[in-house]
Chain A
Amino acid sequence: GAVVSQHPSRVICKSGTSVKIECRSLDFQATTMFWYRQFPKKSLMLMATSNEGSKATYEQGVEKDKFLINHASLTLSTLTVTSAHPEDSSFYICSASAGSTNQPQHFGDGTRLSIL
């Protein structure tokens, strides 16, 4: 099946640091990638949708300048949490879609971000 690789799986860093998370589709071209945030024992919350070569579409309430998304190629999207603070600590998970019908989104394994 389709494989999506997300890296790193876990990050612990100091407040004020910027953190970059990578999401790669390994065996298919992902026209669209999605970034989700998940709080403990909660469902996934869509943060933004990114299409290759264009600006990401952010969901209401998600700060564009805080969560920078780049989708430079059909196999790679990155999420950068800029000047991270403890309230940004969360589980971030990406997914990728080939854009065709009847195909599910395929998820990365997620990144657990802890800001001290």
Chain B
Amino acid sequence: AQKITQTQPGMFVQEKEAVTLDCTYDTSDPSYGLFWYKQPSSGEMIFLIYQGSYDQQNATEGRYSLNFQKARKSANLVISASQLGDSAMYFCAMSFGGSQGNLIFGKGTKLSVKP
């Protein structure tokens, strides 16, 4: 069965520092996608970054990078130069079966950026 695990319920980071949010996954499907979403207190889900299971290089999007370690089944999100606006819930999610359907989400990590 597919599973996403986020072990950090909450994280604190000082403004301008980098932070890593952990995500591990479990699937027997060779084709899958890994996503990170940000959910501010207002509720909307904002797509941040995507990593395909066959991608050779780690995905990067501006200050976001995904540390993809396939053998360890981990897909940690790295946020560099944290900003106060980064304070939010962050969800790791996985799609599988070669489609974009059936996203399963981790429980989320609440990130708080301190000034």
Contact = CB atoms under 8 A, between A and B. Distances in A.
Interface of A: 1, 32, 34, 42-44, 46, 49, 91, 93, 95, 97-110, 112
Nearest to B33: A102
Report whether over half of chain B's contact residues are helix, strand or loop; otherwise say mixed. loop
Contact of A44 (B44, B91, B100, B101): B91
Interface in B78-115: 91, 98-108
A32 B104 CA distance: 16
A32 to B, nearest CB: 6
Contacts of A109: 42-44
Contacts, number: 60
A32 B44 contact: no
A43 B106 contact: yes
Contact of A43 (B47, B50, B101, B105): B105
B11 interface: no
Contacts of A43: 91, 105-108
A110 B106 contact: no
